[in-house]
Chains A and B, each alone.
Chain A
Amino acid sequence: MSKKILEIKELRRDFVMGSETVHALRGISFDVNAGEFVTIMGSSGSGKTTLLNILGCLDKPSIGNYFLDGVDVKQLSRDELAQLRNHKIGFVFQAYNLLPRTTALENVELPLLYNKEVSAAERRERAIHALESVKLADRHDHTPSQLSGGQQQRVAIARALVNEPVMILADEATGNLDSRTSYEIMALMQELNEKQGKTIVFVTHEPDIASFSNRTIQLRDGHIQKDTRNENKRSAKEVLESLPVTEDY
């Protein structure tokens, strides 16, 4: 059995809204091993976003434990959480969240600026390498406004890769893209997962996207409704090739 990256035990998260207490997560337990590609699915109000915030170390559980790469997140201060995010997590957002009027290379370098141990030269080298791995080696000097949506998301993925995280956490990463570009992104994700062994946790509400992962966790009303292994995982690359080419070009 390979190493556990995520370990979640009886996790609960409550929000106090005025006089009412909202139970967003009502006791969730699951593990994710290194090299897995997990999708988390659920409709609005299922606790998906809350879980994502906790997985991303942006929020802490009310009750229960969350171990990320062996670190008990609950014990950490705000600053220590920031450092943990910097070292262990690569975020990919629905809206890309690239800095405007800033080149692709500088956007990718950003997480390393907050890491004292990385020198300027190493930072540049790693950013170039990350851009190569998302096949944007020729777009270093382009600003987000000069890139297409898919390209922007690939820059964002490069930014998530550059600090060599233990897990890539994607939040509706294909939500703003047309289906063809979505498949391109998923193909890239699959490639990173299969060829580089990256652990990926992908939050989505599209079953279509979930079918590209090895495992799907279905949330409903703060509980895990289903946790299934995906026996017949689709290849995004093949789907992409089967699409009619004529429409877009």
Chain B
Amino acid sequence: MSLINLIRIALKALQRNKLRAFLTMLGIIIGVGSVIAMVAIGQGSKQSIHDQLSNMGTNMITVQPASNLNGGVRIAGSSFQTLTIKDITALKANAQYISEISPAVTSRGQAIYGALNWPTQMSGVAPEYLDIRKLTLKDGIAFTENDVRTAAKVCLIGQTVVDNLFPNGENPIGKVIRFGRIPFQVIGILSPKGFNAFGQDQDDILIAPYTTVQKRILATIYYSNIYTSAANENVTDAAVAEMTQILRDSHRLTAAEDNDFTIRTQQELIATLSSTSGLLTVLLTVVAGISLVIGGIGIMNIMYVSVTERTKEIGLRMSIGARGKDILMQFLMEAVLISITGGIIGVLLGIASSQIVTLTLKWPTIISESSVLLSFCVCAVTGIFFGYYPAQKASRLDPIEALRYE
């Protein structure tokens, strides 16, 4: 029997019991609809959590000079000087998994404006640093590559420093402050970030070109840190491995020697991120599975009733030439049509209800194609799986008995 005839026969059989077919479908509709809507809400909230965490710089990687043994005494890494312009050049030339890179040197000192002063820290960095640390400017402009080349005496100023040096609400932009003995022109104000998890004030900072800090304040050619950002969170590990190799080559370390630097990532943040989304995915998969199984049992139940109720019809069909296979395919097709139609309606319902959630509750939702595709496929499989036994029962009926069935 051709597929078209098969579909035609199954459709006609379903049409004879429209309400029942619809009620059976309802199980699948609700199952699929809720899966789509939940995944959409889950994905939406995952995305917003992700965005928030990314703002904290989840893909930031820092390089520090390592602590090292020196005559049996361990020397703190920060007092060790190994990172130079050569490393930056090597990383820029060879690393594939990192998108941005900035050296950093720091100096503590007194910031002075007029009669006011404030003890703070100056970071000497490249312009990319703002991106790596996800810092933004509230006002003014950032310094440029040109300022780095000329070791320009310009700086960006954190909110805490602004509050202490300009307490009367003056606009600091364009003003000249001193850091130690060196005058700096304030060209931008950083957006406040508040305190970090360890109680450090992230706004108590001055940022200047690293060349300026190196040449005019510290008189050094070494960096205290190198900040880079991985192209995305997923390649962080690859980026670390790659950077380790590049830095080892750059420092001419033999295989026997330990690294003279340490590379740190934001592992904790990344772990939180993946565990949150992982838990969400498992939860939704379980809910999806349960609801579709319940829908499937509904189909199986109705198909069994239907086979018993239509025993006489099956007998008739067999007597006029339907083979067991034809009967099997007919009932299987009915089950699949119910589940697929239910699946389509469920997908539409799911999309509609997640739109409603977005519009009324302002929750972000993302409808993922994979969840639509997956639940649709699961529907078809559910139809075949739960429709098979009743269909097989029908196909094995003896035509003589079936015809006499009352």
Q: Point out residues on A near B: beta carbons under 8 Å.
A: 53, 56, 58-59, 78-79, 82-83, 85-87, 91, 93, 97, 99-102, 106, 110-111, 113-116, 120, 159, 163
Q: CA separation between A87 and B321, bound complex, in Å?
A: 8
Assess whether B16 is in contact with A85, with CB atoms less than 8 Å apart.
Answer: no
B12 touches A58 (CB 8 A): no
A28 CB, min distance to chain B CBs, angstroms = 18
Answer whether A78 and B324 are a contact pair too, CB < 8 Å, given A58-B319, A97-B312.
yes
The answer to whether B325 and A100 have CB atoms under 8 Å apart is no
Known: A59-B400, A100-B16. A116 touches B1 (CB 8 A): yes
Q: Which of B1-60 contact A (CB under 8 A)?
A: 1-2, 4-5, 8-9, 12, 15-16
Is B178 located at the chain interface by the 8 A CB criterion?
no
Q: A159, B320: Cβ atoms under 8 Å?
A: yes
| Residue ID in chain B nearest A107 by CB atoms | B316
| Interface pair A114/B12, CB less than 8 Å apart | no
Which chain B residues have a beta carbon within 8 Å of chain A's beta carbons?
Answer: 1-2, 4-5, 8-9, 12, 15-16, 312-313, 315-326, 399-400, 403
Give B402's nearest chain A residue, CB to CB. A58
- 26 of the cross-chain contacts (CB-CB < 8 Å) are A58-B318, A58-B319, A78-B324, A79-B323, A82-B321, A82-B323, A82-B324, A82-B326, A83-B321, A83-B323, A85-B319, A86-B320, A86-B322, A93-B403, A97-B315, A110-B317, A111-B320, A111-B321, A113-B1, A113-B5, A113-B9, A114-B1, A114-B317, A116-B2, A120-B4, A163-B321
- CA of A91 to CA of B319, assembled, Å: 8
Contact B403 A85 (CB under 8 A): no
A53 to B315, CA, bound (A): 12
B325 lies within 8 A of A91 (CB): no
Measured between beta carbons, the chain A residues less than 8 angstroms from B9 are 113
Total A-B Cβ pairs within 8 A: 68
Q: How far is the CB of A201 from chain B (nearest CB, A)?
A: 15
5 other A-B residue contacts (CB within 8 Å) besides A59-B400, A99-B316, A163-B320: A53-B400, A79-B323, A85-B319, A113-B8, A163-B321
Given known contacts A53-B400, A58-B399, A97-B312, is B324 in contact with A85 (CB within 8 Å)?
no
Q: Decide: A78 and B12 in contact? CB cutoff 8 A.
A: no
Q: How far apart sit A240 and B15, CA to CA, in the bound complex (Å)? A: 40
Is B400 in contact with A114, judged by CB distance below 8 angstroms? no
B321 touches A85 (CB 8 A): yes
Cβ–Cβ < 8 Å partners of B4 in chain A: 120
Q: A58-B399, A114-B326, A116-B1 are in contact. Are A91 and B320 (CB under 8 A)?
A: yes
Identify the closest chain A residue to B312 (Cβ).
Answer: A97
Q: Which residues of A contact B312 (CB under 8 A)?
A: 97
Closest CB of chain A to B117's CB: distance in Å? 94
Quick one: given A78-B324, A113-B9, A116-B1, are A97 and B316 in contact (CB under 8 Å)?
A: yes
User: Among B4, B318, B320, which residue has the most Cβ atoms of chain A within 10 A?
Assistant: B320
| Complex: chain A residue closest to B316, CB-CB | A97
B322 lies within 8 A of A102 (CB) = no
On whether A58 and B320 interact (CB within 8 A), knowing A113-B1, A114-B1, the answer reads no
A87 nearest CB neighbor, chain B only? B321
| With known contacts A58-B399, A113-B1, A79–B320 Cβ distance under 8 A | no
- Known contacts A113-B5, A113-B9, A114-B1; A101 and B16 CB within 8 A of each other: yes
Chain A contacts for B403, CB-based, 8 A: 58, 93, 97
Give complex CA distance A111, B322 in Å. Answer: 8
Q: Could you tell me the distance between the alpha carbons of A59 and B315 in the complex, rounded to whole angstroms?
A: 13
Q: Which 8 A-B pairs have CB atoms at the shortest separation, nearest pair first?
A: A86-B321, A82-B323, A114-B321, A111-B320, A101-B16, A79-B323, A97-B316, A113-B5
Specify the chain B residue showing the minimal Cβ separation from A114. Answer: B321
B323 near A102: Cβ-Cβ < 8 Å? no
User: Contact between A99 and B313 (Cβ–Cβ < 8 Å)?
Assistant: yes
Q: Bound state CA distance, A53 and B401, in angstroms?
A: 11
CA distance A71 to B325 in the complex (A): 23
Q: Nearest-CB distance from A100 to chain B (Å)? A: 7
Q: How far is the CB of B394 from chain A (nearest CB, A)?
A: 14
